[in-house]
Structure 1
């Protein structure tokens, strides 16, 4: 079975473009109905079925949910779980999850696949058309834009990644500034909230010369991420799996000095250890320890007998410096 790609909400799962693309695993949020025991059993099942699990979650995820993820990883004492916090807006994160699901069928190792998430996120152009930016804190907003946000009919086109940018859009005709788009072929996906506007399809899509436009359900997390429900979220990404494969495979691979997994870029996706400087590689021996980002598991509740069996320590490699 390919490496499992997991997300924290069903809204972050996009339909696959073909029958070969594996589904994403959806992790249930912490609640009275879904206890720590349930979360441990859920993750243990994924590990047994897939070997490795890569969890993508947005930066806006509530602290309680983030703590649950790290607690589960710590109690299972597994170096086969990657927890990747991403600053992508929810719709952009959903597109990244779909790309990783497609690449999971290729010959990439789990370590390369996990570290590829950071690489591919730089090629996703994600933003939104907003009716207000008064509470927006994830993209720099000037005092002038804050003031204009109180004017009835005001709309703002905001690009969050890869480079933050905000422009004012005139209400009726959709005229105003432009957002710099990708210099490569992309497919545009839109998700409509409470804002009634066709600016994304009538102005942005032609300006970006996208290869196609699709529509998805607005993720529940989008309202929190953009600090308003009056929005139309959009994301443009590379749809061609062969181009994604070429992009990832063209990057030099290294072995993580701590957990031993392959990686691309400057940080391991599983243990979060940074890539050593060239002169240090091969000179430092690995030693026992707890990996950065592994979590302390503080505050874990009493486990059921069945769950304690899942959390029983077993021989493993160290997962951090």
Structure 2
């Protein structure tokens, strides 16, 4: 059985692109949804470990502390080193896209340790942002005083990119934030905001192969600080990422593998995805055959280089 990929909310489970990609397991730990009793969650995770051997859980940065505490409590009670907890610095829809990519790769020949540490690598290639009606309360992306003041203008719209590098501009014409320099598929999810600009202006400018609408993650209004009157507010979240499993496979395979000195699992990068132990040598990882590490974006750019493959 492939390594299990789990998420903390059902809205973080995107539709499988094919019949081979397994779905993600939802762990109802609370947050924007009702939480299941702790003993039930412990039982569910124990069953996953028995069936799959290892479990990788993706949890957005915006979830309440209680959710994170429950997640670590589950791992502590089970006394298991087979549970990896990933909290990428991505907006919720970006986390959902990353979970989908790990689900795709879970059926490949990567070991659980490589798969878990690949989450940091792949997060650099997810271009995630939102179209917002206001940035007055946004604190996850730098907001200038001028942009803050313009948030009070009726009908104002702002294009904000949180990853891989922060960008913010007021939407006034055809100008768009800089996007990926490689082929991507875009997912978008709307709150109380029209999607025309995302589908009609941003998607063509970013040259995405397709744009797919999906429900807005429950954590998105909290992450983007748009929640108002019990609703999601004026928001359209979007995330563009590599859809091709062959490119994802080559990207992860191009990074040299190491052995974790603490738990013995394979890893790529400078930290184990399961026990979080750093590389014993402290030396930065390199691609197989030398060169710059693939675990960081290109210096001074929001774009990153891809290994050669049949996908531009």
With the length of structure 2 as denominator, give the TM-score of the two structures.
0.86
Provide the secondary structure at the position in 2 that maps to 1:86: coil
Q: CA deviation at 1:93?
A: 0.7
Aligned residue in 2 for 1:17: 17
- Out of 223, 232, 243, the position equivalent to 2:221 is 223
Moved more, 82-91 or 31-40: 31-40
Q: Do the aligned partners of 2:270 and 2:282 also contact (CA within 8 Å) in 1?
A: no
Q: CA deviation at 1:259?
A: 0.5
2:277 equivalent to 1:273: yes
Aligned residue in 1 for 2:259: 255
Aligned residue in 1 for 2:211: 213
Q: Do the aligned partners of 2:131 and 2:236 also contact (CA within 8 Å) in 1?
A: yes
Report Cα offsets for 1:231-285 as digits up to 9, x if no partner.
1111100000000000000100000010000000011000001112268xxxxxx
- Out of 61, 68, 78, the position equivalent to 2:70 is 68
Q: Do the aligned partners of 1:188 and 1:235 also contact (CA within 8 Å) in 2?
A: yes
Aligned residue in 2 for 1:311: none
Distance 1:58 1:33 in 2: 16
Report Cα offsets for 1:35-62 as digits up to 9, x if no partner.
2211211110111111100000000011
Distance 1:176 1:150 in 2: 22
2:211 equivalent to 1:200: no
Count of aligned residue pairs for this structure pair: 275
- Out of 114, 117, 120, the position equivalent to 2:119 is 117
Q: CA deviation at 1:33?
A: 6.5
Q: Give the structure, 1 or 2, with the largest relative contact order (CA under 8 Å, sep 6 or more).
A: 1
Distance 1:107 1:179 in 2: 36
Q: CA deviation at 1:197?
A: 4.2
Report Cα offsets for 1:102-141 as digits up to 9, x if no partner.
1000000000000000000000000000000011011000
Q: CA deviation at 1:12?
A: 0.2
Q: Do the aligned partners of 1:266 and 1:274 also contact (CA within 8 Å) in 2?
A: yes
Distance 2:25 2:271 in 1: 24
With the length of structure 1 as denominator, give the TM-score of the two structures.
0.83
Distance 1:123 1:224 in 2: 23
Distance 1:197 1:33 in 2: 32
Distance 2:58 2:14 in 1: 14
Alignment map for 1:1-321 (pairs within 5 Å): 1-30=1-30, 34-170=36-172, 175=173, 177-228=175-226, 229-277=233-281
- Segments of structure 2 that go 5 or more residues without pairing to the other structure are 227-232, 284-312
Distance 1:34 1:265 in 2: 35
